[in-house]
Amino acid sequence: MVRKWRWKLALVSLLTTVLAACGGGSATQAPTTNPNRVTLTIESWRSDDQKVWTEQIIPLFEKSHPDIHVEFRPTAPTEYNAALNSKLEAGTAGDLITCRPFDVSLGLYTAGHLTALDDLQGIAHFSDVAKSAWQTDDGKTLFCLPMASVIHGFIYNKAIFNELGLSEPKTVDEFFAVLDKIKQDGRYTPLVMGTAEQWESATMGFQNIGPNYWFGENGRKALIDGSAKLSDAAYVSTLKDLARWGDYLPDGFEAVKYADAQMLFASGKGAIYPAGSWDISYFNQNAKFELGAFKAPVAKANDQCFISDHTDIGIGINAKTAHMAQARTFLEWMTGPEFAGEFSNALPGFFSLSDYPVSLKNPLAQTFVDWRKQCQSTIRNSYQILSRGEPNLENELWRMSVGVIDGTFTPEAAAQDLQKGLDNWYKKP
C-alpha cells in the first residue's frame, strides 16, 4: 500500500510541478509596457478565491504599484502541502507562499523555505493573537503575515425567531430556554448540526462555546504552560454544555453530514445553526429568509465574553525568491487598510487580521466582526503546540465532542481521557 501511494504521490507532485512550470512560463510572457516590471506568483490552496484575487485584490495593488505584476496560482487544498513541499525542494515554488497556521508552516520555516518578517513595515498593526499562528515557539520570529481569520458563533433564522417570539440568547440558560421553546413548538429542528464528520462537533461545538469557560487566551496558554488541565472544571463544563446539545439536534444526527446540516438550515427547517463565519457566503446565496447571528453564550449576563477568532490564513515569502524587495513591498501593502477592506468585503466570513476598522457591506459578516469590539479573541486551543504528539489532541477533541453529544462518554470521563492523552506525551516547556 505504501508503495502504491508513494508512487501516486510522486506522480502527482511531478505533474503539478510540470504544470506549474508551464504556467510560470506563460506568465512571464504576458505583455508588459514596462521592461522592468517584475512578476510575483502566489502559491495558495484557496482555489475558491481565484476570482477575487485576480479580479479585485491584485488589480487594486497593481494600480498603485505599476512595476509589480502579481499572479495568483492556487493548488487543490488537499494537494497543497505535498505539492508546495516538492516545489520548494525543486526550487520552482512561487515568490509568495500562502501559509497554513502553526506546525505545517513552522516546518517550512525551520527547513529554511520562508524568510523572517519581523522587520516588515506595518507589522505593528497585528495583535499577538493574530501573529501566534506563524511564530516560532518562543514567539521571537514571525515568518508569515497573518491574513485572515474565521469567527465562530451561531447563525439563526429570523423568521422562526419572530414567529415564536424569541430573542437572541445571551446567557447559557437563555440559550437552552430558546432551544426548549423551539423544541416544544415541534415544527423546526432547534439546533442544526450533525456529528457524522466529527469535526463539526469539535469546531462548531467545543471550540465555539468553550472560550467563555476557559477565558480565552488565558485558558489556552495555561494548557500550554501546564498550569491548567483538560480535566479541570472549565473543560468539564464545556463538555457538559455540549452534551446537552444532543436533545436538540436533527433526527439521526449521528449520520447527518456537514453539507446535510447546511442544506437543512438553508431550507428553513431549522432555527439555529452553530457556525463558522465561512458559512456566511453559503447561506447568503442559499437561504431565502433573513439571517441573524449571536455569539457563544456566557454564564451570567454582562460577563466578559470570549470568541473563537481563529487564525486561518497567512502569507510568507519564499526564502529563495529572486524578487525579495518586490515581495516585501507586496506584503507591506497587505498590512494596510486598502487590502483589509477589499479582502474582507470580497470574501465575507474571512476577516482581515489587521487592526484597521473595516466596514463590511454584508450585515451578517459585520455582526460577526463586531463581536471583536465587545469580546476578547482567542484561537482554537488544540492548534498551537498541543497537537504534536500521540494521541493527537485535535483528533481526540473530535472524537470526544461527538462522544459526549451521542452519549458514548460522560463529560467527566471525556475530560479525563483528553488529559490522559495529553499527559502521555506533552511535557510542559
Q: Which residues make up the interface to other proteins (CB under 8 A)? A: 1-3, 5-7, 102-104, 107, 194-199, 250-257, 260, 263-264, 382-383, 387-388, 390-395, 398-399, 402-403, 406, 408, 421, 424-425
**For other proteins, which is the closer residue by CB, 333 or 409?**
409
The least CB distance from residue 236 to other proteins, in Å, is: 19
Three-state secondary-structure class, residue 191:
strand
The whole-angstrom separation of Cα 326 and Cα 69 is 10
All three cell numbers of 268: 428553513
Could you report how far apart the first and last alpha carbons of the chain are, in Å? Answer: 38
**For other proteins, which is the closer residue by CB, 67 or 254?**
254
**For other proteins, which is the closer residue by CB, 51 or 388?**
388
CB 56 within 8 A of CB 344: no
The least CB distance from residue 263 to other proteins, in Å, is: 8
Q: Tell me, what amino acid is at 196?
A: A
The least CB distance from residue 155 to other proteins, in Å, is: 18
Distances 338 to 108, 159, 357 between C-alpha atoms, Å:
29, 36, 11
The least CB distance from residue 322 to other proteins, in Å, is: 31
CB 159 within 8 A of CB 266: no
**For other proteins, which is the closer residue by CB, 194 or 216?**
194
CB 38 within 8 A of CB 27: no
The least CB distance from residue 11 to other proteins, in Å, is: 11
CB 300 within 8 A of CB 175: no
CB 206 within 8 A of CB 242: yes
**For other proteins, which is the closer residue by CB, 122 or 391?**
391
The least CB distance from residue 303 to other proteins, in Å, is: 30
The least CB distance from residue 141 to other proteins, in Å, is: 20
All three cell numbers of 170: 445571551
The whole-angstrom separation of Cα 16 and Cα 31 is 25
**For other proteins, which is the closer residue by CB, 176 or 253?**
253
Helices assigned H by DSSP within 232-323: 233-243, 258-266, 279-286
**Angle at alpha carbon of residue 224, lines to 223 and 228, rounded to 5°:** 25
The whole-angstrom separation of Cα 28 and Cα 190 is 55
**For other proteins, which is the closer residue by CB, 248 or 333?**
248
The least CB distance from residue 395 to other proteins, in Å, is: 6
Looking up cell 481565484 gives 50
**For other proteins, which is the closer residue by CB, 210 or 297?**
210
All three cell numbers of 131: 501573529
The least CB distance from residue 309 to other proteins, in Å, is: 18
Q: Helix %, strand %, coil % for the chain, to 5?
A: 50, 15, 30
Looking up cell 504576458 gives 30
**For other proteins, which is the closer residue by CB, 50 or 267?**
267
What are the DSSP calls for 298-366, one per residue? Answer: BSSTTPPPEEEEEEEEEEEEBTT-S-HHHHHHHHHHHTSHHHHHHHHHHSTT-EE-BSS----SSHHHH
**For other proteins, which is the closer residue by CB, 103 or 332?**
103
What are the DSSP calls for 86-113, one per residue? Answer: HHHHHT---SEEEE-STHHHHHHHHTT-
**For other proteins, which is the closer residue by CB, 60 or 196?**
196
The least CB distance from residue 307 to other proteins, in Å, is: 21
Q: What are phi and psi of 410, to 5 degrees?
A: -80, 155
The least CB distance from residue 245 to other proteins, in Å, is: 15
